[in-house]
C-alpha cells in the first residue's frame, strides 16, 4: 500500500540552517548566519534587474578565452561603471559590512546559501563556482538564482498544513555564509531517513562513477549508519528527513545539510515513490545494509557503465548576450544593441503599420 507520509511546516523548519546548526555545530563546517532585513529580501525578489547595491563591485568573468585586447576593453568598461555606479542603486551598507566581516572571519572565502538552498543554479555568473570572496559575488549569486527565490516564496509548498497561519513570508529570512571547503564530490552521500530509520543512501554526485565507492561500499554503509544512529537520530526532531553527509580524509564525517523528506529534495538514485512507500525496488548497483541492527536499507551508487551526463542546471542559464547587456559589461554588444534599437525606431516612425519588427543589426563596427 502506498503510504506517503505527510510533511508539516515544522519538518521543513527543522531543516532550516539556523535551526539545525546550533545542535550539530561540532559536526559541520563553520558558518555565520546573517538575518536579512525586509528591504533586501524585496530587492532579491524584484524581477528584471541585475542592479547591484551601491558600493559593491564584481568582476564577471564570462569571457575566458577572449583576446587580451578585448579584455582590456572590459577593464575600461568596469572603470566607467565605477564612476557612475551610484545612480539608482539600492543601498545595503550594513549588510555589506556584515558579509565582509563574515568572509574575513571564515578565512577569506565562503559558500553562500539561504535558509534551505544554495544558488547553485546560478554558478555560471560566478566563474562556474559558488566560492565567494566578496559581498558583490554573494549578492550577485543570490540575485540570479531561482532556487533562492523558491526559498523566499515557496519553502512550504509541499506541506499539507501550508495554508495554516505562519507562511514563509512571516519568517525572518537569513543569509548563511559557510567557510569554503574544497570538498571532493565522490565523498558526499545523501541519506533518506523514514520513521527515524535509515532507509536509503545514494551517492550524492550520482552521475559519476567512483571506484573508491565501488570498492568500499559495504564499509561506507556501516559508517553512515553508525553516524546517523549515534550522532543524528536522537537529536533531530523530525521522523522523516534527508541528510547529506561528507566523509573527510581523516575518516570523520561532516553534516553538509538537512533537507525535507519530499519531492523538493532530489531523490538522486532512488525515486520518491519508493522512498515514501518504504519499499525499495531491487537494484543491480546497490548493497543492502542493516540500520541499528534490525531494519533493512539499500545503498545505491553509480556503476562503471554509467554515461557522462550534462549538467542538471543547464536549463537555468540565461543567454550570455543578455548578461553582457544587462550588466553593461560588453561595450561592443551594447553599441550593436543601440544601433538595432535606433534602426527599429526609425523604421516604425516611417511605417504606417504599427506592428513593430526587429531588424537585424548592422554588424559593421564604427
Ligand X SMILES: Nc1ncnc2c1ncn2[C@@H]1O[C@H](COP(=O)(O)OP(=O)(O)OP(=O)(O)O)[C@@H](O)[C@H]1O
| Cβ atoms of residues 39 and 182 within 8 Å | no
Pick 74 or 188: Cβ nearer ligand X:
188
Closest CB 204 distance from ligand X, rounded Å: 6
Q: Which is nearer to ligand X, 183 or 292 (CB)?
A: 183
> Closest approach of Cβ 244 to ligand X, in Å?
5
The smaller minimum CB distance to ligand X, of residues 43 and 254, is found at 254
Residues 6+ away with beta carbon under 8 Å from 185:
204, 205, 208
Site residue total, Mg ion (CB under 5 A): 2
Least distance to Mg ion, CB of residue 240, Å: 15
User: Shortest distance, CB of residue 117 to Mg ion, whole angstroms?
Assistant: 7
**Dist CA 304 CA 32 (whole Å):** 39
| Eight-state DSSP code of residue 157 | T
Question: DSSP code of 53?
Answer: P
Q: Counting contacts by CB under 5 A, is residue 298 touching Mg ion?
A: no
Burial zone of 231 (CB within 10 Å; 0-12 exposed, 13-18 middle, 19+ buried): middle
Asked if 202 touches Mg ion (CB under 5 A), the answer is: no
Rule CB under 5 A: is residue 11 a binding residue for Mg ion? no
Give the single-character DSSP code of 122: G
Residue 43 or 241 with smaller CB distance to Mg ion: 241
68, 144 Cβ separation under 8 angstroms: no
Per-residue DSSP letters for 276-332?
HHT-PPP-SSEEEEEETTTEEEEEE---TTPPP---TTGGGPPPHHHHHHHHT--HH
Closer to Mg ion at the Cβ: 15 or 52? 15
- In the complex, which residues of this chain contact ligand X (CB under 6 A)? 29, 111, 113, 117-118, 120, 178-181, 183, 185, 188, 204, 244, 256-257, 259, 266
- Least Å from the CB of residue 96 to Mg ion: 26
Binding mask 18-47 for Mg ion (x = CB under 5 A): ------------------------------
Q: Which among 197, 264, 206 has a CA at the least distance from the CA of 232?
A: 197
Contact set with Mg ion (CB under 5 A): 257, 259
Amino acid at each position: 500500500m502506498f503510504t506517503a507520509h505527510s510533511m508539516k511546516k515544522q519538518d521543513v523548519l527543522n531543516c532550516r540552517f539556523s535551526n539545525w546548526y546550533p545542535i550539530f555545530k561540532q559536526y559541520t563546517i563553520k558558518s555565520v548566519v546573517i538575518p536579512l532585513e525586509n528591504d533586501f529580501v524585496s530587492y532579491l525578489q524584484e524581477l528584471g534587474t541585475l542592479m547591484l547595491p551601491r558600493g559593491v563591485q564584481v568582476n564577471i568573468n564570462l569571457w575566458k578565452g577572449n583576446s587580451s585586447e578585448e579584455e582590456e576593453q572590459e577593464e575600461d568598461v568596469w572603470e566607467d561603471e565605477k564612476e557612475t555606479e551610484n545612480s539608482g542603486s539600492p543601498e545595503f551598507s550594513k549588510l555589506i559590512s556584515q558579509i565582509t566581516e563574515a568572509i574575513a572571519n571564515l578565512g577569506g572565502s565562503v559558500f553562500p546559501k539561504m535558509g534551505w538552498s544554495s544558488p547553485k543554479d546560478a554558478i555560471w555568473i560566478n566563474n562556474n563556482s559558488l566560492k565567494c570572496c566578496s559581498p558583490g559575488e554573494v549578492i550577485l549569486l543570490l540575485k540570479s538564482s531561482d532556487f533562492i527565490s523558491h526559498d523566499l516564496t515557496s519553502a512550504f509548498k509541499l506541506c499539507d498544513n501550508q495554508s495554516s497561519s505562519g507562511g514563509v513570508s512571516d519568517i525572518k529570512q537569513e543569509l548563511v555564509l559557510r567557510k569554503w571547503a574544497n570538498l571532493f564530490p565522490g565523498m558526499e552521500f545523501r541519506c533518506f531517513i523514514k520513521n527515524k530509520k535509515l532507509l536509503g543512501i545514494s551517492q550524492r554526485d550520482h552521475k559519476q562513477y567512483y571506484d573508491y565507492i565501488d570498492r568500499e561500499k559495504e564499509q561506507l554503509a556501516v559508517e553512515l549508519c553508525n553516524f546517523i544512529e549515534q550522532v543524528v537520530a536522537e537529536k533531530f526532531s523530525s521522523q522523516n528527513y534527508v541528510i547529506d553527509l561528507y566523509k573527510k580524509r581523516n575518516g570523520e564525517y561532516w553534516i553538509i545539510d538537512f533537507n525535507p523528506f519530499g519531492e523538493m529534495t532530489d531523490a538522486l538514485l532512488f525515486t520518491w515513490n519508493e522512498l515514501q512507500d518504504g519499499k525499495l525496488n531491487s537494484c543491480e548497483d546497490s548493497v543492502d545494509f542493516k540500520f541499528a541492527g534490525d531494519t533493512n536499507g539499500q545503498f545505491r551508487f553509480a556503476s562503471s557503465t554509467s554515461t557522462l551526463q550534462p549538467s542538471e542546471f543547464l536549463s537555468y542559464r540565461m543567454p550570455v548576450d543578455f548578461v553582457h547587456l544587462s550588466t553593461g559589461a560588453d561595450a561592443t554588444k551594447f553599441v550593436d544593441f543601440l544601433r538595432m534599437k535606433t534602426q527599429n525606431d526609425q523604421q516604425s516612425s516611417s511605417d504606417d503599420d504599427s506592428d513593430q519588427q526587429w531588424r537585424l543589426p548592422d554588424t559593421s563596427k564604427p
